[in-house]
Structures are given as C-alpha cells and as structure tokens.
A and B are shown apart, each in its own frame.
Chain A
C-alpha cells in the first residue's frame, strides 16, 4: 500500500464511506496532499460506488480543489469588493509580474502557487494577501515585492 492508498482508506473510513460526505472526503485528501491526486479520486470512486466522472464533476466545480500539485507557498489574494476598491487587483498583477506566472499557476521551482479568492471577510484589512495561513493586511504594490522576498529567502 502506498501513502495515497493508506490515507484515502482511512479517510473513507472516517466518513463511514458515506457518499453524501464526498466534499468533506475530498477536502481531507487535499489537506493532506495539497491537491487531489488522480489515484486518490479513482479510489474514492470505487469505494463510494460513484462513477469517476461524477467525482471529477464535483472536484472541478468547487473552487477550493486543485487537480495539479501546488507550490510550497499558496498565495491567495483577496478580490472581494472591499479589497477591489482598495486596489486588490494591482497586487495580483504585481505578483504575476514578479513570479512570472498567472493566477492558477505554480512557479517551476514549486515554491509558489498564485490563486485569488472572493472575499475572506477580512475587509477592514484590505487589500489582503494570505500566504499559507498567514494574513497580510493593508497591502500595496510596493509592499508586495518585499513580502514575497521574505518567503523566497526563508
């Protein structure tokens, strides 16, 4: 049994092989591997007796899921309305420029993945950038470069 098999097996058990818990199962798998490996999805489909295509339809419908491995640091730029009126989009563009990737992509060295989110509810701190679980508030274009540097050097 490889790592994926073991983990998916125990996750399915945790959720009693209940197909209504599919989203929770996928969330657990993603938390573990940082993305949804194909092997894991196949195993979920077989065990829950759901056609693989339905698993994929769920995995691609919800924004949180990724079918591609993601970088060591997941950058999420909030693009809620409050962050938007305070210049959130400029921050995205600056990160795209610095890392030379567009939203949804990962740097070739697997360090950074850039994603956007529609409102984290931290509007008072806008524009907000979250890297892994750390919040960085009151961002501007100038601070963006410095922030990324902290992570490149660490």
Chain B
C-alpha cells in the first residue's frame, strides 16, 4: 500500500475498492463482537470457511467477520447478504445446512430464524426484526456490514470522506461552528455541548494541545463504546482527526479499559493501518495537517472515567481526580490544554460533517439532538445494544424494542446511568428519554446503560449493590465520598439484615444529599443517586424491610426462609442431594424438611426442585 498523499489519492483508493466489489456475490457475515465471541462465533466462522473450501465455493462466497450487531442475546448472529436473511444462535452444526440450503438452493433454514416474543411470528430478514426496525442506527449501521480490521471496508462505505471535506474546504472555526450548530452534546454522561468544549480548547493559549478519546467505559451494564471500538474503530478515530484539526492538537490519546481486550486489539490494528495509509503522522493527505494517536490501556479503576483522573492515568500516575477549575481545556495533560470526549461523541463527528448540522439536529428533542445508543440489559427479553432517536418513550424501549419482561414477570424499574444514575419506576415509564427528562426523574443519561429489573429484584439490595460498588471504586481522596458512602452502605446493609430503624431513612437522605453537595469529583457528586432514587420511588420496600422484617422480592437472605411444601414434595431426594449444607432430610418418597439452623439460603434446592415444592418466604 502506498501512502495517500492527497485527497485525490484517497478518492481513487475508494473507487478502486468499490470497482472490485460484486454486490451480487453472496456473503455470509458473522458477528464477532465480544457477546458473539462468548457464544462461539469463532468456531462458526472457521467451520464456514472449511466447508466452503471443501465444496470449492471459497471464491464464490465471502465470509465476513463483522462488528457487533447489537442483538447479543441471540448470538452468534449470522446474516446472509445481499438478501439480509437473519439467522440467530448459529452453531458449527448449522453450517452445512446454511450452505446447502440457503447459499446453493436459495431456501430459508426455518429453525434458525428469530421468533418475535411479542407476536410469536418467525422473521426472515434482519431489517424486519422488531428489535432493529424501531431503531435509528446512524452510528451503529455500519457495524454489521464491515470488517473492523480492514480499513478498506471503512473507506468503501464512505469512511474518511468527512476528513477530506474538513481538510479541503473548512477552516477550524467552521468545523467548530458546524458542531455547535448540530447541538451535539457529550455522550459520556454529563451532556456538555461538544462544539462549545472545542471552542474553549481552541481559544485556550498554548502551542501544544491534546485531544483524548475517553473509552474507559466503566458503568456496569453499558457497553456501547466497547461495541463501537470493536465494530467500527475508524469512525471514532476519524472523529478524533477532525476534532484535532478543529482544536489545533497534534497529539491524541485513546484511553481504553483493560477489560475490553477485543476493543484494544481492534483499535491497535486500526491505528497501525491509518499510519500505513498516511492518515496519521506528518502532513496528512498532503494538507500540512499533522496528528498522531497513542493508545493507552487502563488497569481497572472506575474513577478513571472522570476526566481529571483519566488525565493523571495517561500521565502514568494513579488515577486520582483533582479539583476543577482549572478545566482540562485550560490545564490538562502535562498542564497543556486538553479536549476530552467520549467514544460515542467522537463517532458522531464524521456524520455531522458529512450530512450536515441541520440533518443531525432534525433528530431528537429540543435540548438533546441526534441518537443515543443504549444497552438494554437485565431482566428483559431482547438484550442488546439499541440506537434510538433522543426522546423515545421509555415504555417503547422496554416493551417494543426490548420485547418485555421474560417469564411473565412484572416490571419493577429501569436503572439508567450506572452508579451515577437512578432507578425509574413503572409510573414514570412514559417519560421521554433525553438528558433533561432523566435528570428530572432523579436519574441521568450516563453513558447509556439501561438495566431492567423485574419483581424479583429488591430495591434495597440494589441500593446496597451500588453503594458497595462505589465504596470499592472511590479513590478515597476526599473525605465525604470515602466516609459518606461507607456510612450509607453500613446503614443500608443493616436494613437488609433486619436491623433497620425507621429514622434510618431520614439519616440516609441527609447523608446522601451531603455527599452530593460536598464531594470534589463527579463520582462522589452522583454516588448517592441510586440510593436516593430508590428512597423516593420505593420507600415501601425499605419500610417492609424495617417494620415487617421482610424482603418482598425474596432477595435479602437474613429476611427469607426456604420451606418445602407438603402438598408438592414427592420425596424424590433431588434437593437433599444438592444441598451443600446437608440441611435437608427425609426418607425416599416421603416429605422432606429443611433444617433452618443449618440452611445458608443459597437457593440451590429452589433451583433444583422440578415440582415447585420449595417456596421462598
């Protein structure tokens, strides 16, 4: 590959790639995101390649490994192009049939189709799956089409055209103006206007400036950034190039968390390929613009998602936040002006440049423009990543895209915004999801995690879960966060263990508000949100734990008991054999009983019994 020396060079490469393509050639694309990896996509791809070779079809049929399609629950996902037939939960054993039936005989393999849990109908094409048809996949659209490890595939779908436009015909101020006009706000959680951030960094004094892509996606239950980096890393990197040009930076950093090995790998490959093509380095496309990116890998610290901690970590120190101001735009990495944006924010940039600010701002609500990717997870039928216009009703997310709650259970809450967000109850299901409405409901957008909880989830336990998380992840630098979270956890733990008093609720409220007001960084300032929102919306559950010493959801161990029902026990002995504590006794074919003294309430007997004879009280 020769280095691209001009915009024309890039265009002729694009044309040559496209001219070699045959749009009618069958292509079997296999999702290779982390979710499908875990479900065994590598074996499927290998078997496919071998089988095609055996049949001498390797030149006639393409096998493409793509990024995440988003519908992780149904992986490994395989889509047959050009028709777009959608097969789900494919195993190596299905490969033979896919080739002989679908590729050779043009027939559908019925048993591999997806069945919509709402209508009960089988669906043939990817675009008709309700999980996808209600989405607006402007960022994610290419994920399922291109091989993320091949820069040519990104170029073929119009990649780096926005960079061309910027370098050829726009002044940095015009780029900033376009981003401002689009109304794009930071997708990392706080929603700060991106164009304004760039403007401040541009105007900030100094010859050396840095830009950073924050890919330290630490919110549990959110993985859209990982998926973008795995599936379409060049879209993020192109955004960074444009941002660097606008801000006036020559060096960029992309900070990816260690827990995402596949994203690290794909970003590494993407950066190497950019260098090979001359899209990084000196005099990019012969325009005089120079820029390079360094990949930095995190080492497991949630607080590093906070920008001042992230910068400390890039400098090679422990990730402790510092007081702001000065903001990074004035004093950032090594004291130089630094502009930090999140992965999804960067990925929006090339789209805005190519399609225009007006197109972008026509999507979404008054204050929140564009789309947002959410990870819809937890107790929901269609788990996965969904990209929707801002302002979509929460109810539509849960019941139409998400396909509702499995096993006919009742909906209880949606937790949004991770450890900084809150729990939204059923009565607020009609709220429209954007920055403002979520904040008003006592939660926040955060990075876009949406964990659905059903009636079997205890909200006091949920508050305890987040407090535990935050206690572990608080860096300990400021007292209110370090001690405040610990005290709240102590009280909530007491409640879950039956030691709660009614005045605890007031103390918790007071402590929570104090930690919010007095903490130095974003972690502490938002840490009490999960607790406070459950106190607001689920006070009755707290009171049941305190007054009645009962956990209505049957989660808090100290407050529950397993018993064997006389009318249902067949005396089969399965629970007796499974019990790790030898707490169950009974003769064969006779009623069994549980010794409450020995029982540790692990729930194994409950899971083992085939006759529903074990009840939780």
**Residues of A with Cβ closer than 8 Å to B?**
18-24, 26-27, 54, 57-58, 61-65, 79-82, 84-86, 90, 93-94, 97, 117-126, 128, 133, 135-137, 140-142
Contacts and interface: CB of A to CB of B under 8 A. Distances in A.
Contacts of B189: none
A65 B260 CA distance: 16
Interface string B464-484: 010001001101000000000
Contacts of A97: 580, 602
B39 interface: yes
B423 to A, nearest CB: 11
Interchain residue pairs A-B with the least CB separation, the first 7: A121-B223, A124-B72, A80-B220, A63-B300, A62-B299, A135-B38, A119-B220
Contacts of A79: 220
Contacts of A22: 316-317
A66 B377 CA distance: 31
B35 A122 contact: yes
Majority DSSP secondary structure for residues of A touching B: helix
24 contacts: A19-B316, A21-B316, A58-B318, A62-B298, A62-B299, A62-B300, A64-B300, A65-B299, A81-B415, A82-B377, A85-B378, A86-B378, A117-B259, A118-B218, A118-B220, A119-B219, A119-B220, A121-B259, A121-B260, A123-B72, A123-B221, A124-B383, A125-B35, A142-B608
B50 to A, nearest CB: 22
Interface of B: 34-35, 37-39, 72-73, 75, 217-223, 226-227, 258-261, 296-302, 313-320, 375, 377-379, 383-384, 415, 418, 449, 451, 453, 457, 462, 465, 469, 472-473, 475, 578, 580, 602-604, 607-608
B259 A119 contact: yes
A94 B451 CA distance: 24
B377 A118 contact: no
B72 A122 contact: yes
Contacts, number: 146
A88 B281 CA distance: 46
Nearest to B468: A79
A62 B318 contact: yes
A140 B314 CA distance: 38
A125 B38 contact: yes
Nearest to B375: A123
Contacts of B222: 119, 121
A136 B73 CA distance: 14
A143 B603 CA distance: 13
Nearest to A134: B38
Contacts of B604: 94, 141-142
Nearest to A18: B316
A149 B533 CA distance: 42
Given A23-B316, A117-B300, A121-B34, 9 more contacts: A20-B314, A23-B313, A27-B297, A81-B378, A119-B259, A123-B72, A124-B377, A141-B604, A142-B578
